[in-house]
Structure 1
């Protein structure tokens, strides 16, 4: 299906002209057609002049009201489906400023009630801590366009306020790979996971994780977001595709249900069986925290193997820093204060602060007290 900008514009123009021509050929006025379709006359006018893009359902209603022959109707419905596919490259977004893209997403979220995020590769921006957002919004390869990272990051942080709007519900479904993929430093990753666990405490937020090793009759191909039941956005390396065809929306809702039915949301006993979209009242904090610990254990094990092999060429810090949890040096008030702060943070579940304390302890001990 061609989705180049020129093709999309031509499809939309052809669709508007065809619908206007069919109405005139039927002898109906715009007002009478509006009554038959249960639409406003203004909407009919905007559709026929190309100022508003009709959904596939809108076109079906108009064609039915005009009693258009099946063969002609199918051709126009095919044209409507093509017209309802959008594509925008990240180069285009970067050219006008990625902060504008964040503003577009904010407007889309503000006009939606239920948002379902399928995230097989990386957590979505609504869940990012600042350090993680900086990494994901920064150019990664030479062909990436330049962009104002700081402004885009701030716009992303500002978007997150909508998570506090309890009139909206957010479903975030991630693979374990998305949680564990080290897109930033170990400390930032731990803070990112801890932050997601904290966000999941909000009554209008559900986070599910599909763990590795679970057999699933489906392949997580792309990141996608379903906004209510009206459109789907799909992220690619090169850009973003927007789908409005009800069949495409239903397909992605079904896929979301399939993957969610294999997800963990805290205790394994809360796993959903079947494909229903019923609300699951369970916390994902346990699963997220386990992902943090697994990640830290892997780092610690890797460092120990490096130390045992005697290959210390890649390390700039002494071997005393190899353990994940640095201890206080006897008689050092700063160490004791940081260890106490770490203990208090852990008792309240503030794992981001636990990570910060460990970093400060290592830095303080590296300076020789």
Structure 2
């Protein structure tokens, strides 16, 4: 089985399970037409596509491992944001939610924005309002991103976030809205399965932030660039990102020290508004 024969093989799995195509497409957060193209071999599925389809079908761990190994033969995949826009940002959020629901350990490094799983509704709106969406599209996208955040309260999952200090000061939203966002970060950091660390500007560093990335278990790394989202699946490349993550983790502040830093930035914003 190669990557281009994956589609027909996935169709056989679905048919043997007794599930209709529309049910699997809905569970995999993709359109019925896209699933049809994959199953007919007209479109090569991405690693994410295969993961979502297998999860929607409900195959055993052994079968999933076999199919995912084939999907990972192409070690790196890039999907242009213009194509994701065509798919729909809300549907993209649903796909990410499906993957996160199957992830035991999520490690996310973010030097640009507050991570999506920690964003307040106002912050989410500010992020996607820059994408020239209609109001209906914007509302669906905000709802889909906020729906993802429920995974933070799931048992048996661990979330590790590393944020650089400028993220906490970047005024993508008005100061008082940013205050609420900082409070949200402090609150989320108290969850027993959530570790949030901040790389302080004043701390000595031995690496450069580069770009954001998220590591799902040790299976995939998703990287966001200006033009596309890139998914890496080669274990050698994943190891590089794990090493970078752990290096920044060791240099970042955490726990009460982190909450004190975020609280100080919040209080500075409040004092600024009082004297404005």
TM-score higher than 0.5: yes
Aligned residue in 2 for 1:94? 85
Aligned residue in 2 for 1:260? 249
Q: Does the C-alpha gap of structure 1 residues 14 and 96 become closer, same or farther in structure 2, counting only changes over 3 Å? A: closer
TM-score, length of structure 2 as denominator length: 0.73
Residues 159 and 194, structure 2, Cα contact 8 Å, conserved in 1: yes
Q: Is 1:159 aligned with 2:111? A: no
Where do 5+ consecutive residues of structure 1 fail to align? Answer: 1-10, 16-38, 57-79, 269-283, 301-321, 325-369
Q: Is 1:104 aligned with 2:95? A: yes
Deviation at 1:172? Answer: 0.9
Task: State the Cα deviation string for residues 18-73 of structure 1 (Å, max 9, x = none).
Answer: xxxxxxxxxxxxxxxxxxxxx97x789x86xxxx65266xxxxxxxxxxxxxxxxx
| Inter-partner Cα distance in structure 1 for 2:182 and 2:209 | 21
Q: Is 1:84 aligned with 2:36? A: no
Residues 102 and 155, structure 1, Cα contact 8 Å, conserved in 2: yes
Residues 120 and 174, structure 1, Cα contact 8 Å, conserved in 2: yes
Q: Is 1:247 aligned with 2:236? A: yes
Where do 5+ consecutive residues of structure 2 fail to align? Answer: 7-60
Task: State the Cα deviation string for residues 115-156 of structure 1 (Å, max 9, x = none).
Answer: 01101111111101101100001125xxx6768111100111
Aligned residue in 1 for 2:70? 54
Q: Does the C-alpha gap of structure 1 residues 43 and 156 become closer, same or farther in structure 2, counting only changes over 3 Å? A: closer
| Inter-partner Cα distance in structure 2 for 1:112 and 1:214 | 31
| Inter-partner Cα distance in structure 1 for 2:102 and 2:89 | 20
Q: Is 1:293 aligned with 2:245? A: no
Residues 84 and 243, structure 1, Cα contact 8 Å, conserved in 2: yes
Deviation at 1:114? Answer: 0.5
| Inter-partner Cα distance in structure 2 for 1:267 and 1:43 | 41
Give the secondary-structure state (helix, strand or coil) at the position aligned to 2:70. Answer: coil
Aligned residue in 2 for 1:181? 170
Aligned residue in 1 for 2:119? 128
Q: Is 1:169 aligned with 2:169? A: no
Q: Is 1:206 aligned with 2:206? A: no
Residues 3 and 71, structure 2, Cα contact 8 Å, conserved in 1: no
Give the secondary-structure state (helix, strand or coil) at the position aligned to 1:54. Answer: helix
Aligned residue in 1 for 2:219? 230
Give the secondary-structure state (helix, strand or coil) at the position aligned to 1:139. Answer: helix
Give the secondary-structure state (helix, strand or coil) at the position aligned to 2:195. Answer: strand
Give the secondary-structure state (helix, strand or coil) at the position aligned to 1:261. Answer: helix
Deviation at 1:288? Answer: 1.5
Please give the root-mean-square deviation of Cα atoms over the aligned residues, in Å.
2.7
Deviation at 1:214? Answer: 1.6
| Inter-partner Cα distance in structure 1 for 2:100 and 2:4 | 28
| Inter-partner Cα distance in structure 1 for 2:260 and 2:155 | 23
Residue pairs, 1:345-364, within 5 angstroms: none
Which of 1 and 2 has higher RCO (CA within 8 Å, sep 6+)? 2
TM-score, length of structure 1 as denominator length: 0.55
| Inter-partner Cα distance in structure 1 for 2:152 and 2:242 | 21
Give the secondary-structure state (helix, strand or coil) at the position aligned to 1:182. Answer: coil
